[in-house]
């Protein structure tokens, strides 16, 4: 193991992989460390991603696409379904991936571009000099070592401990942590072309339950509820078990996972001297959908692009790295994150009766735009009497 | 004090992300209490599987 690189990347998820690939292609010496024994496992994801978004980063490949989705359905507490069809295309229709293979492929491409990849190697603390990050202390298969670098990109996911230990506040407020559980189920009756989202305080308080197909009679069946709604006897797993017992009593569970999705605002600042934070660690998950794969790839790639310039210019101070922070905030992703955060804050206040009313108001309409924005516009248009109440939503559009 | 039920834990890291004291750490697939815990119970609330329990001793 070498112990000096231009760029050190912590975490081998989509953010770390894109950072490593981009940085290596730009001619840097790059090291990516991953604490787990294998890239991509265990999966902590429902594996859905928009087609257009995915294609910005990688050419779709049948090896890691489990299902091609034609429609999405949002199902309100009383069962009213809003169906969004592919021919009115947009960014929420997409693929269900096989992330075990997908994540490996991304890291594989980074390695092919020239990055060193070291698994079973955990960053335990940043190496700090005069307040600047200069690398990481690691435990590699149990053996301590120091890896020094001009820039460290922290892409360590929900836990985000690296940035925290370098002095950034990455703590997620309990109410904004989606506490999730998911089963990969087989032998169940589903619509193999539809991603289904179930809403309601009885089903998934301040969150939603999803059925994402992975083939004909197979799907990821999972749930996220707000951390503040989680308690003994009514935890994510309990809600999921109740749904499964009712809807798929004869299904077989071949994988069970748990996970957390931060739906808070992004970190106040995603750079420090010698440090950049990308992906879930930067809290750039869409607060409405909980989708973070695309945003992780986008921020990982951008971080590496900016880091490469700073290394070439010989200045990796916070100020020099700041264009990364400024650019993602000004980007489409940054704008959507801010808007969807406000939309989420509105939706968590709704009781089941209100959710039903809103769903019924647009269930029959043909939505021109397949997106969160399209939905909001339609809701406002169809509910003139509720306009005062929907003001919070309307304000998100301006 | 915090009790971790390793039979229930799914090693997902949710508790790590919400702990205000940075007391928990996920080491590969092993959750451990590494630093001073103030027994606030936030991690236990966030855990999707009910693997954590805060016990207040007299
Ligand atoms: C239940 C669930 C369902 C989801 N469903 C979807 C979905 O359908 N669509 C979607 O787009 N997103 C979904 N997400 C979110 C998505 O999984 C994440 O946004 C995405 O994986 C973030 O990528 P990342 O690279 O930032 O982090 P991760 O993929 O979490 O990767 C971080 C990596 O860093 C490693 N690591 C952590 N600490 C260290 C350390 N100290 N040293 C070395 N390595 C370390 C971890 O082991 C991990 O491999 C879901 C999440 C959950 C939990
Ligand atoms: S009880 Fe509080 S301080 Fe202790 S580990 Fe849990 S969240 Fe951290
Ligand atoms: S939140 Fe629960 S399941 Fe996840 S790592 Fe912590 S104790 Fe384990």
CATH number of the domain residue A33 falls in: 3.50.50.60
**Domain end position, chosen among A330, A354, A380:** A330
CA-nearest residue for atom 4, ligand 2, is B37
Choose the residue to mutate in B18, B21, B54, B57 for probing ligand 2, maximizing ligand atoms within 8 Å of C-beta: B21
| Domain assignment present for A145 | yes
Predicted pLDDT at B29? 79
Instruction: Specify whether A109 is located in the same domain as A248.
Output: no
| Domain assignment present for A295 | yes
Instruction: Specify whether A393 is located in the same domain as A365.
Output: yes
Instruction: Specify whether A319 is located in the same domain as A188.
Output: no
| Rounded Cα distance, A1 and A215, in Å | 41
| Domain assignment present for A48 | no
| Domain assignment present for A247 | yes
Instruction: Specify whether A346 is located in the same domain as A274.
Output: no
- Ligand 2: which residues within 6 Å by Cβ? B 2, 19, 21, 23-24, 37-43, 54
CB-CB contact of A292 with A333 (8 Å): no
Instruction: Specify whether A246 is located in the same domain as A280.
Output: no
pTM: 0.96
CA atoms within 13 A on the CB side of A54: 23
Q: Do residue A181 and residue B49 have CB atoms under 8 angstroms apart?
A: yes
| ipTM entry | 0.95
Of the residues B10, B14, B38, B41, the best mutation for testing chain A's interface (the one with the most A CB atoms within 10 Å of its CB) is B14
**Domain end position, chosen among A298, A330, A362:** A330
Cβ-Cβ contacts under 8 Å for A5 (sequence gap 6 or more) = A28, A29, A30, A31, A116, A147, A148, A149, A150
Instruction: Specify whether A111 is located in the same domain as A187.
Output: no
Predicted pLDDT at B10? 95
| Domain assignment present for A49 | no
Instruction: Provide the residue range defining the domain that includes A83.
Output: 54-96+173-263+336-398
Instruction: Specify whether A306 is located in the same domain as A256.
Output: no
Of the residues B48, B51, B52, B55, the best mutation for testing chain A's interface (the one with the most A CB atoms within 10 Å of its CB) is B48
3-class SS at A67? strand
Instruction: Specify whether A131 is located in the same domain as A244.
Output: no
- Separation in Å, CA of A362 to nearest CA in chain B: 33
A94-132: per-residue pLDDT in tens?
A: 999 999 999 999 999 999 999 999 999 999 999 999 999
Overall size of chain B counted in residues:
58
| Domain assignment present for A143 | yes
**Domain end position, chosen among A305, A330, A355:** A330
Report how many domains make up chain A: 2
Ligand 2 center to B40 CA (angstroms): 5
CA proximity to A154, closest of A1, A304, A362? A304
pLDDT, block means (10 residues), chain A with 398 residues? 95 98 98 96 94 95 95 92 72 84 98 98 97 98 97 98 98 98 98 95 96 96 98 97 98 97 98 98 96 98 98 98 98 95 90 90 72 78 74 72
Instruction: Specify whether A225 is located in the same domain as A249.
Output: yes
| Domain assignment present for A78 | yes
Instruction: Specify whether A122 is located in the same domain as A244.
Output: no
Instruction: Specify whether A373 is located in the same domain as A301.
Output: no
Predicted pLDDT at A394? 75
Share above pLDDT 70 across residues of chain A, in percent, rounded to a whole number: 96
| Rounded Cα distance, A351 and A362, in Å | 17
* Helix segments in A113-206, DSSP class H: 161-165
As a whole number, mean pLDDT of residues B29-44 equals: 92
Predicted pLDDT at A88? 57
Instruction: Specify whether A80 is located in the same domain as A164.
Output: no
The number of angstroms, rounded, from the C-alpha of A52 to the middle of its chain's C-alpha atoms is: 16
Predicted pLDDT at A376? 80
Predicted pLDDT at A313? 98
| Domain assignment present for A214 | yes
CB-CB contact of A23 with A307 (8 Å): yes
């Amino acid at each position: 193991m070498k112990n000096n690189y231009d760029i050190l990347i912590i975490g081998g998820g989509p953010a770390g992989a894109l950072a490593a690939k981009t940085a290596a292609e730009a001619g840097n010496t790059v090291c990516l460390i991953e604490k787990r024994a294998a890239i991509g496992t265990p999966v902590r994801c429902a594996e859905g991603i928009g087609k257009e978004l995915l294609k910005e980063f990688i050419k779709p490949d049948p090896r890691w696409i489990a299902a091609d989705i034609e429609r999405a359905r949002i199902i309100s507490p009383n069962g009213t379904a809003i169906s969004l069809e592919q021919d009115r295309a947009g960014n929420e229709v997409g693929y269900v991936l096989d992330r075990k293979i997908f994540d490996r492929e991304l890291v594989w491409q980074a390695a092919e571009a020239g990055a060193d990849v070291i698994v079973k190697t955990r960053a335990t603390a940043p190496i700090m000099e005069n307040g600047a990050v200069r690398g990481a202390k690691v435990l590699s298969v149990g053996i301590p070592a120091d890896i020094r670098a001009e820039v460290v990109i922290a892409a360590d996911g929900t836990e985000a401990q690296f940035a925290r230990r370098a002095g950034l506040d990455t703590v997620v407020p309990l109410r904004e942590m989606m506490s999730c559980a998911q089963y990969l189920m087989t032998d169940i009756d589903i619509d193999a072309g539809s991603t289904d989202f179930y809403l309601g305080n009885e089903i998934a308080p301040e969150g939603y339950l999803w059925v994402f197909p992975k083939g004909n009679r197979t799907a990821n069946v999972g749930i996220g509820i707000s951390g503040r709604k989680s308690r003994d006897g009514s935890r994510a797993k309990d809600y999921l078990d109740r749904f499964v017992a009712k809807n798929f009593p004869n299904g077989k569970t071949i994988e069970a996972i748990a996970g957390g999705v931060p739906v808070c605002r992004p970190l106040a600042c995603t750079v420090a001297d010698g440090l950049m934070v990308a992906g879930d660690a930067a809290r750039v998950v869409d607060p409405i959908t909980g989708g973070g794969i695309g945003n992780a790839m986008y921020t990982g790639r951008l971080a590496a692009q900016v880091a490469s310039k700073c290394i070439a210019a010989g200045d990796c101070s916070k100020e020099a790295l700041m264009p990364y922070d400024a650019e993602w905030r000004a980007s489409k992703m940054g704008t959507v994150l801010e808007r969807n955060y406000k939309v989420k804050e509105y939706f968590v206040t709704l009781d089941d009766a209100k959710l039903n009313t809103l769903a019924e108001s647009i269930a029959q309409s043909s939505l021109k735009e397949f997106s969160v924005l399209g939905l909001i516009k339609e809701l406002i248009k169809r509910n003139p009497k509720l306009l005062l109440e929907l003001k919070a939503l309307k304000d998100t559009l301006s | 004090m915090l009790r971790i039920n390793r039979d229930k834990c799914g090693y997902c890291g949710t508790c790590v992300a919400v702990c205000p004291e940075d007391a928990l750490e996920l080491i590969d697939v092993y959750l451990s209490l590494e630093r001073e815990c103030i027994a606030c119970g936030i991690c236990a609330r966030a855990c999707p599987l009910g693997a954590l329990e805060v016990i207040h001793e007299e």
